Structure 1
Amino acid sequence: MLIVEDLMLLMLDDEKGTVARAGALNYSLGGAVLVELALLGRIEADEDRAGLNGPEVLAVGDGPLPDPLLQSAYDEIAQKPQGIQALILSIGAGLQEPVLDRLVERGLIRRESKRVLGVFRTTTWPAEDTRHEAELRRVIGAVLVDGESPDARTAAMIALLSSSGTLPALRPAFPWSDEVRRRAKELEDGNWGATAVTTAMARNAARIAATAATSAAVSVAVFTAIT
């Protein structure tokens, strides 16, 4: 399984089938794909060509990648190098449905659709087979709670869960303490993909706040003019 698939599995509430920190999902999924490409040695960040969207990400190496989802992201980067924060959203925005479909096909989750008030259709993805997720949680817990050294893949998952603010919101919950938070933050700070997720989310929050403030100011001005 890809890092992005494991990440999605962890972010789903096993019973309710909803996503923890759904607002951070696209950032997390996009970051997971970029981190996996970096671990495979197929992308590099050019710090000398950093702009408002962070360092430019370049496609390197040749030959086909082991998964079409990774290949699609690699091809996008190869076609036009972009800043990492822009890439995170560009890649992550289209990943939710295909990644959920993969988890359903693997038998790890199931898709449940129902109508609310007889009108609105909602879909959830509760757990079906929890064995793989249980092993993921065991390995992550060994790092965060017991202080074991992680491999690159586990470090990346923890870093991404930390950067998106998802880690304390996972269900079932991990034991949470200042020490667990500190270890997760250390891994986040050491992973450029996770750091880019944090920055991209902060910039988006600032844009939303600015838009809301502008809208409020316009509304006040209009109301004042009318009265």
Structure 2
Amino acid sequence: MTTLIAEDLLLLFLDDDSGATNTVVPIPTVLGGAILIELAVAGAVEVPERTSVWKTAKVRPVPGARVEDPLLVEALATVAEKERTAQDLVGKLGRGTRERLAARLVERGILEHRKDRVLGLFPRTRWPAVDSRHEDEVRRALTDVLVLDAEPDPRTGALVALLAATDRAHKVVDRGNRSAREVRKRAKTISEGAWAAKAVRDALSASTAAITAATTTAAVAGTSGS
């Protein structure tokens, strides 16, 4: 089954039984980062090197690049509108993406769409798992890379980088005899992108930096509000 990196990431963030995302991670921003990185893996965008320390690197489309997935087509069109920083783009690309990706996974029979109310008052949408086989395959691939030290393919490497940026890598695999610290260290090494072409490394670096900043802000807000 062909899925987007963002779809695989969403499956990892959803609890299979409840269908809820029990995390302070800013899901829309992370999914926006996944979309941007997918465009880079497809060779559709690039992050030119900064020409000045006073300027932030901007993302731009690669001339003549084509993508087929409708969501990626829209995302590439957004990139082409004008030069934006990765931080601006991950927020813009992530808006409404969780619901759209979940709907696609429902159509494929992977998730179920449920609506109910908390305390009978507040509406809530959840997406519990119906068929976990694809997610299990994703977790096995991640375990091979993070625990068994297999070399990642571009998609798995990108997924690891996103999980590292949100400090979730050690939570989505069976660590075996490895400690959480060791898995985190392995995820950080992979996120540095030795497996990737330069254009992908640049996009990974810019996107994950934006995601890390957003995740830190969300965590601080959650702590101060508790």
TM-score range (shorter-chain normalised) is 0.7 to 0.9
Contact 2:165 2:211 in 1 (8 A): no
DSSP 3-state at the match of 2:57: strand
Deviation at 1:37, TM superposition (A): 0.7
Among residues 127, 130, 152, which one is paired with 1:128 in the alignment?
130
Q: Which moved more, 1:196-205 or 1:40-49?
A: 196-205
Partner of 1:221: none
Structure 2-normalised TM-score?
0.82
Partner of 2:210: 200
In the aligned structure 2, how far is the partner of 1:40 from the partner of 1:19?
A: 28
Deviation at 1:90, TM superposition (A): 1.1
Taking a change above 3 Å as real, the CA distance of residues 34 and 11 of structure 1, as seen in their structure-2 partners, is same
In the aligned structure 2, how far is the partner of 1:31 from the partner of 1:144?
A: 21
In the aligned structure 2, how far is the partner of 1:11 from the partner of 1:208?
A: 16
Opposite residue 160 of structure 1, the aligned amino acid is L
Among residues 101, 106, 109, which one is paired with 2:108 in the alignment?
106
Contact 1:21 1:166 in 2 (8 A): no
Deviation at 1:100, TM superposition (A): 0.8
Contact 2:24 2:218 in 1 (8 A): no
Contact 1:57 1:82 in 2 (8 A): yes
Deviation at 1:193, TM superposition (A): 4.1
**Correspondence 1:186 to 2:196:** no
In the aligned structure 1, how far is the partner of 2:55 from the partner of 2:124?
A: 35
Partner of 1:58: 60
DSSP 3-state at the match of 1:15: coil
Among residues 69, 72, 75, which one is paired with 2:71 in the alignment?
69
Partner of 1:15: 17
Opposite residue 107 of structure 2, the aligned amino acid is E
Contact 1:54 1:196 in 2 (8 A): no
Contact 1:27 1:197 in 2 (8 A): no
Map of 1:15-164 to 2, 5 A cutoff? 15-48=17-50, 54-62=56-64, 64-164=66-166
Taking a change above 3 Å as real, the CA distance of residues 201 and 67 of structure 1, as seen in their structure-2 partners, is closer
In the aligned structure 2, how far is the partner of 1:97 from the partner of 1:49?
A: 38
Q: Could you report, residue by residue, the CA deviation over 1:159-215 in whole angstroms, capped at 9, with x for unpaired residues?
A: 101102233444xx54253221111011223344443344324544569979xx9xx
Q: Which moved more, 1:197-206 or 1:127-136?
A: 197-206
Deviation at 1:56, TM superposition (A): 0.7
Taking a change above 3 Å as real, the CA distance of residues 184 and 209 of structure 1, as seen in their structure-2 partners, is closer
Taking a change above 3 Å as real, the CA distance of residues 196 and 165 of structure 1, as seen in their structure-2 partners, is farther
5+ long unaligned stretches in structure 1: 214-227
Contact 2:25 2:166 in 1 (8 A): no
DSSP 3-state at the match of 1:122: strand
DSSP 3-state at the match of 1:147: coil
Using the aligned pairs only, state the percent identity: 38
Opposite residue 96 of structure 1, the aligned amino acid is R
Structure 1-normalised TM-score?
0.82
Deviation at 1:80, TM superposition (A): 0.4
Q: Could you report, residue by residue, the CA deviation over 1:142-161 in whole angstroms, capped at 9, with x for unpaired residues?
A: 11111111101100001101
Q: Looking at CA atoms only, which structure, 1 or 2, has the larger radius of gyration?
A: 1
Taking a change above 3 Å as real, the CA distance of residues 203 and 179 of structure 1, as seen in their structure-2 partners, is closer
**Correspondence 1:6 to 2:8:** yes
Deviation at 1:97, TM superposition (A): 0.9
Opposite residue 156 of structure 1, the aligned amino acid is A
